[in-house]
Amino acid sequence: MSATGASPLPTTSRPRSPLLRAEHFVWLTARVLEQRRFAHRFLGGGADPVETALDAYRNEDGGYGHALEPDLRGPVSQPLHTAHALRVLDSVGRCGGRRAERVCRYLTSVSAADGALPAVLPAQRGYPAAPFIPVVDDPPSELLATGPVVGLLHRNEVWHAWLFRATEFCWRAIDALTTSHPYEVEAAVAFLDSAPDRPRAEAAADRLGRLVRERRLAVLDPDRPDAFPVSPGYAPGEHHYPHDFARTPGSLARAWFTDDEMSRSLDFLADAQEEDGGWPIRWRRWAPGTALEARPLVTIEALGTLRAHGRAIG
C-alpha cells in the first residue's frame, strides 16, 4: 500500500491493455496537468481538478505561459500556450463563458495588425525555446497559431469581436495555400472542422485534401515511410499519417483517405506504443525535460484518437 492507502499499479508485470500500460506511464512521468487530464478522459475523473492544474499556467494578462507548451520555456504568455490551454478547457467542457471572454481579451491584445495571431511574441527572447521555433522582433500572423484557436472558439459557440477578423484571416490563408506542411494542414483542419460556414469549409477541405495527396504530406503506407518526403525543417523521420489529420471519424480530413489507408494508419498508431506504456514524439528532441513532458501529451492524444475511431484500448 502507498502512503495514501491506495494500491499502486504493478511495476513487475506488464499490464495487457494499452490503457493500463499508458496509465502506468502517465503516473510515472507526467505533469500534474496531464495526470488529471488522463484521469478525466479515461478514468472518470472530474473537470475541476483539470482546471485547477491549468490555472497554475495562467498569467495576469489573461494568457498562459510557464512552459504549458513544453517547447516554449519561461513564464511569459504566448499564443501557442493559450491555444494549448483552450484545448484543455475544451476537453473538459469549460471553453466558454468568462473563461473564453478572458482569453479573447488576451488574444485581442497580442494580435497583429490583421487581427490574427503570431506563433511566438518577442517577449520569449531571453527564455529557452526550441531551435525550430524562431523568435523575431515583428512576427507575422500565422495560420498555424490562429486556426486552432479560432476553430475551438467556434466549436464552443463563443462570440467575440476578436473572432471576426481572425476568422477572415483563416479563410484567406487557407484559400491561398498552394503548398504547405503537415502542422499547417493540421491547423487548417482544426479551423475547418468547426467553421460556421459548412459548405465553404467542405469545399476548402476538399481542395486541401487534394494538396495533401499531391504533395505526399501523409504517409499512406506505414511499411514504406521513406517513400514519402519529410517536410523541410522537420526532424529526420518526422512523418505524418492519416490519423494525424483525421483525429476523429467526423473530421473533414477523414474523406481524404480510403478505409484501408485509415485502417493501416490506426494499426501503425496502436503498434507505436512503447514498452514503458507511452507513445513516442516524432519531432526534434532538443532538451531532455521537454521530451519527457511531451510524451504524456502525445500518449493521451494517441489513446483518444484510437478510441474515437472505434479501436479497443481497454
Say yes or no to pLDDT of 6 above 90: no
Query: CA angle 275-132-305, nearest 5°?
Result: 40
pLDDT mean across residues, the chain: 95
Residue 305 pLDDT exceeds 60: yes
Residue 173 confidence (pLDDT): 98
Q: Give which of 312, 180, 175, 176 is closest to 240, Cα–Cα.
A: 180
Closest Cα to residue 224, out of 235, 216, 232? 216
Model pLDDT for residues 199-257, shown as the tens digit of each residue: 999 999 999 999 999 999 999 999 999 999 999 999 999 999 999 999 999 999 999 99
CA 184 to chain CA centroid, Å, is 12
8-state DSSP, 150: H
Give pLDDT tens digits for 157-193. Answer: 999 999 999 999 999 999 999 999 999 999 999 999 9
What's the confidence (pLDDT) of residue 16?
Answer: 83
- Beta strands of 31-165 (E only): which ranges? none
User: Rounded distance, CA 177 to CA 245, Å?
Assistant: 17
Share of the chain above pLDDT 90, in %: 95
Q: How far apart are CA 238 and CA 236, in angstroms?
A: 6
Percentage of residues in the chain having pLDDT higher than 70: 95
3-class state of residue 56 by DSSP: coil
| pLDDT digits 0-9 by tens, 32-67 | 999 999 999 999 999 999 999 999 999 999 999 999
- The predicted-structure confidence for 72-100, as pLDDT tens digits, reads as follows 999 999 999 999 999 999 999 999 999 99
Note the pTM of the prediction, 2 decimals: 0.93
- The phi, psi pair for 58, rounded to 5°, reads -85, 140
Q: What are the residues whose beta carbons fall under 8 Å from the beta carbon of 77, sequence distance 6 or more? A: 59, 61, 62, 63, 64, 65, 106, 110, 121, 123
DSSP 229: P
Kindly provide the residue ranges of all beta strands, DSSP E only, lying in the chain, ordered along the sequence: none
Grid cell in block for residue 92: 473538459
Confidence of residue 4 (pLDDT cuts 50, 70, 90): very low
How far apart, in Å, do the first and last CA atoms of the chain sit? 24
State the Cα–Cα distance between residues 158 and 65, nearest whole angstrom: 23
